[in-house]
Structure formats: structure tokens, C-alpha cells
Amino acid sequence: MDMHSKDETMLVSLRAIDLTNEQGFFCGRILADLGVDVIKVEKPGGDLARNISPFYKDRVSSETSLFGFAYNANKRGITLNIESRDGKEILKRLVKTADFVIESYSCGYMDGLGLGYPSLREVNSKIIMASITPFGSTGPYKNFKSCELVNMAMSGLMNLSGDPDRPPVMISFPHACLNAGAQAVVAMLAACYWREKTGKGQHIDVAIRESIIQMIAQPIAHWIINRVRIRRAGQHRVGWGPGLVRQIWPCKDGFVIFLLGGGGLRARTNKALIDWMDSEGMAGDFLRKIDWQGFDMARTTEDFIRPLEEAIGKFFLNHTKAELFNGGAERRIDIYPVNDCRDIAEEIQLKERDYWTEVDHPELGVQMTYPGAFVKSSEIWAGVRHRAPRIGEHNEEIYVKELGFSQADFALLKQTNII
Amino acid sequence: MTDMALENVVVVNFGWVLAAPVTGKYLADLGAKVIRVESVHRPDPLRTNTPYKDNIPGVNRSGYHALYNANNYSMALNLKHPKGVEVAKRLVAKSDIVIENFTPGSMKRLGLDYEEIKRVKPNIIMISLSMQGQTGPYASYLGFGNQLTGLTGFTHLTGWPDRDPVQPYAGVTDACAPSLAAAAVIAALFYRQRTGKGQYLDLSQNEAGVHYLAPLMLDYFTSGRIANRSGNRCGFAAPHACYPCKGNDRWCAIAVFTDQEWRAFCNVLGKPPWTGESKFATVLGRKENEEEIDGLISEWTKGHTAEEIMRLMQAAGIAAGIVSEIEDLLEDPQLNYRKHIWWMNHSMLGDYPHLGESFQLSETPVEGRMAAPQLGEHTEYICTQIVGMSDGEFIGLLQDGVFE
């Protein structure tokens, strides 16, 4: 695919006012990647989310949070105390110039300030406002306190994950709010499309917990149809048949994911794996004689599966992740490595596709490596163009040059801690 | 005046399994006319996946498939039939967006790659969501989302630090990629409005997925640190775990972040003597003695139901929630209030739940309009009403076996 100028973006002439905390950062980041002018509004002194670890080279400061770097890149940033009277008026002036507002405060907070959707709509009838909250802004749980752990617990996903002899377990990195942020963008852009036809804005109410439920469709189906409860099963896969099938296998230097199964595709990959094992003298008669075409996972017995798993397990332990992944490529067998960050950084495929993007951080005197565009387009660039804003970095640019405040007023707002 | 946000947008979805159908479902739920092109000769693997109605296999009987396919139209079309590709192109000519997620190269072999379909519809927007992108040495590596979840890094980060990793159950990338794909194609509609040009979008599910771990990658690149799984712990809060409750395998998640929340938490427990110990009075102390504190809390939680604990904690202003099983979700007062699950009458499964969306729009409805379709349920409608075939032509092609 051709390389494009980093100035060409999917969207132009659209502006978002991003009032979110860490629950909503990703939403604005995606809009910014697509070309929206996203102005991140923080309280004077900076967001609390600037304290989220990890930090750049473990230097703990409000200008070195890697969470902020990752999810606020491509945005501009200003400071504003929206709880002050002047702050509210300034926010409204900004909203007049904007197409989108994103916020992730507790339910009712914006309304309490007189900055809820009904108020902002009066200022700009075309505004599209998205509120991203744990359970949504309606219903009996709307004021429930939450966090990643509770969102994941109540989503139903967590109950399906973990070792059977330990508590259910979550992904060890915030995930639900990122999922919700991305889904919010879909709704916001659709609302913008509708606005083109009707001239009307609207409010979008996003529930973080709900954004995860799509991941557990099959267990819902098993319960509804057969009243079968899928239970967490550690390294095994449940829900594809009556029994447990190992999917995570230890290998020489870590773990790989490989699925045994029946049917056309699996008949071929199972056979190809046994042939590979055989070529290294690691398939006994038992394995060589299996008729994979007639193999049906639903009708296998423990007596059959266990020795099979044992033999495959031995073979995997004899090889590294890379050997199995690459050997799989040659033989059209899907054996995936369980990658950690170093493995991901070294993935040949990502390098060959020029995925990683170097981003200047002049204040730190470095270029930092970021994940590249989430999609490659034949026409535009959707990756990182510049680093996340520093605290109040664009105050003067936006307050003085764009909103037209005089230097004297700008100084006054600064001194009174409004910006 | 139109009712739904994406009304009048026509999408042809050649894809299958999860990534492409979920992308299409976002658009369908927001009002686009999304046509899934399917064939009985190579049915969507979700259609041939368990559980089935009455446990009898059949392409219209899978409860798994039904959950994911509300609001979609289904057109049966055999793309291996010489006339099938021609019909597909006529359909594409009437559409705005094409979605597919086959192994790279498949659409080209069918004669339906971007270069080909651009001939019949120059400003078409086409997105391919393959596992690892359309180019590069691993482009055609086969696999499913559950496996890609390992490549992208989620598996390594799920489980206990003293144990082997576990899967976060689902194919996480199958959820990460579709929302970004749907956002990209709607954005491409605006680009087309502005420039008159369509575009081709190559979305690697792996590349999209890595964004969901971006800070950890930045940490690796700058400090060399390799993040590890940490159970349910959080670096700056304790207690922060799932606690065992009354009943069989019942759990409640509780997270205490501040001193104020800690005091409220102790009150909920009735202030047993251990809560007054000075080693638990500070967040540093609680983190240092986390295992001990979790054990003490478990003794209390075992005597109560998960629901009771959630309510007591929430009333005290503490983040807490039951670890929901499927039954809990179906009875969840919040989900039911918001009608998150769409119960609709499915042709084979009867009154059946279909997945809703996490977003509600104040002016344009996002709701279940159509249950998951039977394979080919809308073939005639699509051919005569969208493609513009005469009844005679439709019947002729039907007899030729094009719509199988």
C-alpha cells in the first residue's frame, strides 16, 4: 500500500471536546486518529489520570504516564476548571465550535454543573454528546460505583476465565473501558452521519460493562438452549463440545495455543501436526493410525484424548514458540504463540508491515515507539501524528488565538486558577 | 426525515465467523441495510457450531449464530457458480460498503477483490479484517480469534503470576477489531462525501488488538519491562479481588481505593477487631499485607450471598459487583431496564435472546428489528428489490443453482 502524507486524514473540520478520564481516553484517541480535532480538557494542574502507571523509564511525574501517552496522542490539550462560573461559560463557548463532546464523569455530574446534554444542546443544537459510564446513565445501577474489576465481573466474561480451583480472573490490564471507548466512536460517527441529513445532534449513552457482553455469546446460547453452565477451565477450552479440550500448551520457552477438533479444517491440521511429529520420531503407532476424517470431538472419550494430548504435549515441550509458529506456517497448521510484550515487539509480521511508529517527545529528548495505525487505508493515514499534550499545552493557542481572549484576560484566567 | 442513524447505507458482508459479522452488526444495529452473503456450500462456521435447537445440527439451528446476527439480511449466493460472482458484483454496485474477513487472497481468487469491485462501483468502501493483515510473510497464517488472542498478548496477561496463563475465555481480538473497523468505514463515508473517492481498508486484527495494550508496549520499548499477569490485583488498591460467597462457585468483586472507602468497608463488615489493626490502616499497609487481608475478608464474605455483599458495599459507596453467571445477566435488573438483550422470535429457536449494543442514542433507535435470519431468507427480496432483477431473471438464476 502507498505511503500517505500524515496530513491526510479520513475526517476534517470536525472538533471534539474531550472531558473524559481514563475511562474514555481511547474514544477521543480514535476520533483523533481519524482526523477529528480533539481538544482534551483537564482541570488546572492536570488530570488525576496522569498518575496512572507505568511511567516513562519509571520517572513518576504528571508528564510521563504511558497510559496518557498511548491514549491521548493526536489530541490537543487545555486546562479548564469547569466547576467555576467562568469555566462553564468558556466550556460553552468551546462547545459552540465543536461537533462532539465526550465525557466519562459519574452519572449526573455534568447535569449538576448545568453542563448536561440539555444545556449543551441549547448552546449548540448540533452537538453530539457521548457519556461513557460503567452501567449507563439510566436504570437502577446507574449510580453504582465501579472500576475495571467490577465492570469485568458483572459483564459475565470473568466468570468464564481462570483456573477452576481459584477465583474467576480478569485480564491484567484495563480492557472494558477501551472496548467501550471504541464502541462509542461507532455510535458517534453514525450520529454524525445522521446529523448531515437532519441537522440534529443527539446524546449517546454508553455502558462500559455492556461493551463486554458480546464476548460471551456462546455460553449464553448453551444456557438458553440446554441449561448447560459453562465453567472456567484454566488452559482448556469449554463450550465447543461436551468435554474439555486443551488449548494452552506449555512449550520449551513458554506457551502456545493449538486446538484439537473435528471437522474438515481440523482433520487436516491434526493430521499435518502428527506428520510433523512423525518426521521427528515423536508419533507412535497410536497417533499415526487415527482416522482424522472420522474424528468427532463430541464423541471422543477421555481414554482417547488423554494419550493424544500427552503425545502432542511432549512434542510441543521439545520446541520453542517461534519454532512451532513458523513450523506451523510451513505446514499450514495454526499453532499460535502466547506472546508477551517482547515477543510482540519482535513479531516479524508487524515489522514487515511497518506497523510501529516513531513519535517525537522533544521534552524527553527521544523518539518513542508506538503502535501504528489501527487500519491501513489506500487513501489516508490513521496513525499517530504527534504525542499527547502536556498540561495546558494548547491553552494560549486555543484561548487566545482561536477563542479570541485578550492576553490580559488570558493572564487573569490563569491567575484565578480557572485555566 | 430518517429514523435510524445509518438508514440508507447499504453494506454487503461477505465475511463469516466473528470479526466481519460483528463489524456489520454495529452498522445494522445503527440502521444500515447489511446483507450477509452466505452459501449452503460453505456455511458460516458459526451456523455449524453448537448449541443447536434440540441438539440437531442445521444451518438455521445454531443458538451461537443467532445471538450475533440480529438485524442482518441473509442472501444465499454460491460464489463458486460462474453466475454467482456476477450477481455479487451487481449487488456491490448498489452498495456503499463491502466487508470481508477471509484469508488474504480469497476474494481475489473469487474475482471480488478491491480492484475488481472498484470497476463496478468506483467509490466503494471496502474493508478486509484478516488475522494479521493483507501483506507480510504471515498474512495467510490461518487461525481463529481464540488463538490470535495469544499472539496479540492478552493470554499472557490473564491468570495468576504463579501459574500458567489462561484464556480470557473469548477471542478478545474478535471484540477489539470490529468496533474500530466499523468506525473506520463510517469515517470513510465522510471521506467519500468530501472527495468523491472510495477506499480500501486493510485492518489486521492483530494490529488493532495491540492498541488495547499500548501502554505496556510503550513501557517495554522504553524500560524493557515485560508486563505479567497479576490475577485480580491492582497496583494501587487493596482490597481488590473476587471473594468467595455463599453458594456454589459464587463470587463478589470488591475494590477499595481510598482510606474513606476502607473505613466504610470496615463498617459494612461490622468492624471485626482485625479491621482496626494498624497494619491495615494505610494503603501501603494494605498492599503489603494483601494476602492476609484477602483471607480475612473471605471469612466474612463466605457467610453472605454475592448479591447481598454487592448491595451492602454499593450502599456504602464502595465499588463491588457480583461475578455474573449467564443466569445473572439474564435477570440483571440494569440490563433488563436498558433492554440490553433483544428477545426476538427466531424462526427456529422461538423467543430467543440476541445481543444488543453498549450504546443508546437519544434520537435514533438502536434496537432489535429482525431476528437472526435463516440462511438465504432474504435472497429474493435482495435480488428483486436491491439488485433490481425481474422475477423472471430471479427464477432463472434460482433454477441454475446460483442461490445455494
Between the two ends of chain A, the Cα-to-Cα distance in Å is 44
On whether any CB of chain B is under 8 Å from the CB of A216, the answer is yes
C-alpha cell at A196: 448531515
What pairing do the DSSP bridges indicate for beta strands A128-133 and A100-103?
parallel
Instruction: Answer yes or no: is A302 within a domain.
Output: yes
Q: pLDDT tens-digit profile of B6-28?
A: 999 999 999 999 999 999 999 99
Position A144 scores a pLDDT of 98
Is A8 part of a structural domain of the chain?
no
Spot the catalytic one: B174, B202, B259, B391.
Answer: B174
CA of A101, closest CA in chain B: separation in Å? 14
The reply to whether A317 touches chain B by the CB within 8 Å rule is no
CATH of the domain at A320: 3.30.1540
Domain match, A26 and A84 both: yes
pLDDT in tens, B344-392: 999 999 999 999 999 999 999 999 999 999 999 999 999 999 999 999 9
A148 and A261 inside one domain:
no
Q: Are residues A407 and A266 in the same domain?
A: no
Among residues of chain B, what percentage have pLDDT more than 70?
100
Closest-CA residue in chain A for B8? A194
Residue among A149, A172, A148, A152 at smallest CA distance from A160: A152
- What was the pLDDT predicted at B305? 98
Task: Say if residue A166 is in the same domain as residue A284.
Answer: no
pLDDT tens digit string along B49-102? 889 999 999 999 999 999 999 999 999 999 999 999 999 999 999 999 999 999
For residue B332, indicate whether it is catalytic: no
- Same structural domain for residues A192 and A261? no
Q: Residue A117 is part of which domain span?
A: 15-214+354-415
Supply the pLDDT for residue A238.
74
pLDDT greater at residue B278 or residue A4? B278
Sheet of B250-255, strands arranged across:
B240-245, B250-255, B319-322
pLDDT of residue A6: 60
Residue A224 forms part of a structural domain: no
Mean pLDDT of B241-247: 98
Residue A329 identity: A
* A9 domain residue, yes or no: no
> Does the distance separating the beta carbons of B51 and A222 come in below 8 Å?
yes
Among A313, A345, A377, residue at a domain's last position: A345
Q: What is the pLDDT of residue A237?
A: 82
pLDDT recorded at residue A275: 94
Q: What is the mean pLDDT of residues B178-202?
A: 98
Averaged pLDDT, B212-237:
97
Looking at the structure, do residues A151 and A59 belong to the same domain, yes or no?
yes
Residue A135 and residue A185 in one domain: yes
Assigned domain for A411 exists: yes
Do A45 and A177 sit in the same domain of this protein? yes
- What is the distance in angstroms between the Cα of B156 and the nearest Cα belonging to chain A? 6
Q: What is the pLDDT of residues B295-354, one digit of tens each?
A: 999 999 999 999 999 999 999 999 999 999 999 999 999 999 999 999 999 999 999 999
Give residue-wise pLDDT tens across range A263-284: 667 788 989 999 999 999 998 8
Does the residue A63 lie in any domain?
yes
Query: Which residues are A236's β-sheet partners?
Result: A246
Whether residues A76 and A196 fall in one domain: yes
Task: Identify the bridge partners of residue A337 per DSSP, sorted by sequence position.
Answer: A256
Domain count, chain A: 2
Determine contact: B182 vs chain A, CB below 8 A: yes
Nearest to A150 among B149, B223, B319 (CB): B319
- ipTM, two decimals, is 0.98
Domains and CATH numbers, chain B: 10-212+339-399 (3.40.50.10540), 240-323 (3.30.1540.10)
Q: Are residues A74 and A184 in the same domain?
A: yes
Q: H/E/C letters for each residue in chain A? A: CCCCCCCCCCCCCCEEEECCCCCCHHHHHHHHHCCCEEEEEECCCCCHHHHCCCEHHHCCCCCCEHHHHHHHCCCEEEECCCCCHHHHHHHHHHHHCCCEEEECCCCCHHHHCCCCHHHHHHHCCCCEEEEEECCCCCCCCCCCCCCHHHHHHHHCCHHHCCCCCCCCCCECCCCHHHHHHHHHHHHHHHHHHHHHHHCCCEEEEEECCHHHHHHHHHHHHHHHHHCCCCCCCCCEECCCCCCCEECEEEECCEEEECCCCCHHHHHHHHHHHHHHHHHCCCCCHHHHCCCCCCCCHHHCCHHHHHHHHHHHHHHHHCCCHHHHHHHHHHHCCCCEECCCHHHHHCCHHHHHCCCCEEEEECCCCEEEEECCCCCEECCCCCCCCCCCCCCCCCHHHHHHHHCCCCHHHHHHHHHCCCC
- pLDDT average, residue stretch B181-190: 98
B217/B209 Cα distance (integer angstroms):
12
Q: How far apart are CA A269 and CA A262, in angstroms?
A: 10
What pLDDT tens digit does each residue of chain A (419 aa) get?
444 556 689 999 999 999 999 999 999 999 999 999 999 999 999 999 999 999 999 999 999 999 999 999 999 999 999 999 999 999 999 999 999 999 999 999 999 999 999 999 999 999 999 999 999 999 999 999 999 999 999 999 999 999 999 999 999 999 999 999 999 999 999 999 999 999 999 999 999 999 999 999 999 999 999 999 999 999 998 765 556 788 999 999 999 999 887 766 778 898 999 999 999 999 888 888 888 887 777 677 778 888 889 999 999 999 999 999 999 999 999 999 999 999 999 999 999 999 999 999 999 999 999 999 999 999 999 999 999 999 999 999 999 999 999 999 999 999 999 99
Query: Does residue A226 fall inside a structural domain?
Result: no
CB–CB of A145 and B317 under 8 A? yes
Last residue of a domain, one of A324, A345, A366: A345
**A39 within domain boundaries:** yes
Whether A132 and A201 map to the same domain: the answer is yes
Residues 305-344 of B with CB under 8 A from A: 314, 317-330, 332-335, 337-338, 340
- Last residue of one domain, picked from the residues A311, A345, A379: A345
Interface of B with A in 232-271 (CB under 8 A): 232, 234-237, 240-244, 249, 251-253, 255, 257
Interface contact flag, B186 A348, Cβ < 8 Å: no
CATH for A153: 3.40.50.10540
Domain identity same for A282 and A364: no
pLDDT score of A305: 82
